[in-house]
Amino acid sequence: MLTTLASCQWGDKHVEQKDAIFRDTLHYEYKTINQHAADCGQKPDSTCTHFNVKYPEFAGQPKLNDSVQHKLLVLFAYDGKTDSSLNAYAKRFLGDYETFKKENPDTKMYFEMDSHASVVHQDSNLVAIEVAGYTFQGGAHGASTTAYINWDTHTNKDLTLDDLLIDGYSAKLNAIAEKIFRKNENLSDKASLANNYFFENDKFALNKNFMVSPLGLKFLYNQYEIKPYAAGQTELLVPFEQIKPLLRPNTVITQYAK
């Protein structure tokens, strides 16, 4: 069942962060896929198998819409498979639960999928979208995951760091980010990263999971990426003022880094 939860979303009606910017925004509506297993009856989602996904659909923006749905499909793909659509994903998810229940008729376990794609901020140049959620399909615990889309409305593409920063930026950006990371983690400049973190070769490194915000580049490490599961996710904001020499001119960042 596909349900439309919201009508037109414009300007200040959908400010989701204190630092959000809404100017010359794209028109979008939120859509929701909300499906339940046959044995749910009148049970609430919190106690039965369900598949809930909420995402924006932009008017006249097929490439952006495809990117949002693809990100949702890839982010929560399982068994090494990526479905062709969110509805196909929901069908397979609920089908796998039914198979699991037949094989384990006395089980009290239920599956969960709660994910979303949300417009965090946008202006005439950029639409920043958070894609995140939680899924559980058996095992010791579920998994929470977050990723981002930084959509350039002029080039009609999802931006990478290479689009925003000058050639050869990597080492300098990592050095700046490591200082911020160590401060956030209450680590000295020479403290080892070997014992409590999962960085390759015990050396700090930024990942590619970032969002352009009016304050800076916000990076996010998901569970198990650099810390144990119980530590959750780790965010790291690199302010534009600290990386001005690394910024490529005339990009979506230009309006923020003045």
The CATH number that applies at residue 212 is 3.90.640.20
Q: 192: domain range?
A: 161-246
Q: What is the pLDDT of residue 189?
A: 96
Together in a domain, 128 and 93: yes
Instruction: Name the token pair of 124.
Output: 């005439």
The distance from CA 33 to its chain's CA centroid, rounded to whole angstroms, is 18
Together in a domain, 127 and 171: no
Q: Is 138 left (phi over 0), alpha (psi -120 to 50) or beta?
A: left
Q: Is the pLDDT of residue 46 over 50?
A: yes
Q: Is the pLDDT of residue 1 over 70?
A: no
User: What are the counts of helices (DSSP H) followed by strands (DSSP E) for the chain?
Assistant: 4, 10
Q: Is the pLDDT of residue 19 over 80?
A: no
Together in a domain, 88 and 203: no
pTM across the whole model: 0.89
Q: What is the pLDDT of residues 50-102, one digit of tens each?
A: 999 999 999 999 999 999 999 999 998 887 789 999 999 999 999 999 999 99
Give Dmax over CA atoms of the chain in angstroms: 62
Q: What is the pLDDT of residue 141?
A: 85
Residue ending a domain, among 116, 131, 158, is: 158
What's the CATH code of the domain at 153? Answer: 3.30.565.40
Q: What is the pLDDT of residue 250?
A: 95
Together in a domain, 235 and 187: yes
Together in a domain, 154 and 165: no
253 falls within a domain? no
Taking the C-alpha atoms of residue 137 and residue 160, their distance in angstroms, rounded to an integer, is: 32
The identity of residue 44, as a single letter, is: P
State which H helix or E strand residue 50 sits in. strand 50-58
**Beta-carbon count within 10 A of 34 CB:** 15
Q: What is the pLDDT of residue 132?
A: 98
Look at 62-66, 80-84, 128-132, 160-164 and tell me which has the smallest mean pLDDT: 80-84
Q: Report which of 217, 208, 220, 218 is spatially closest to residue 247, judged by C-alpha positions.
A: 217
State the Cα torsion 197-203-206-208 to the nearest 10°. -90
Together in a domain, 43 and 55: yes
Please state, for a pLDDT cut of 90, what percent of the chain lies above it: 82
Taking the C-alpha atoms of residue 198 and residue 228, their distance in angstroms, rounded to an integer, is: 8
Together in a domain, 28 and 90: yes
Taking the C-alpha atoms of residue 150 and residue 56, their distance in angstroms, rounded to an integer, is: 14
- Determine contact, residues 53/115, Cβ cutoff 8 Å: yes
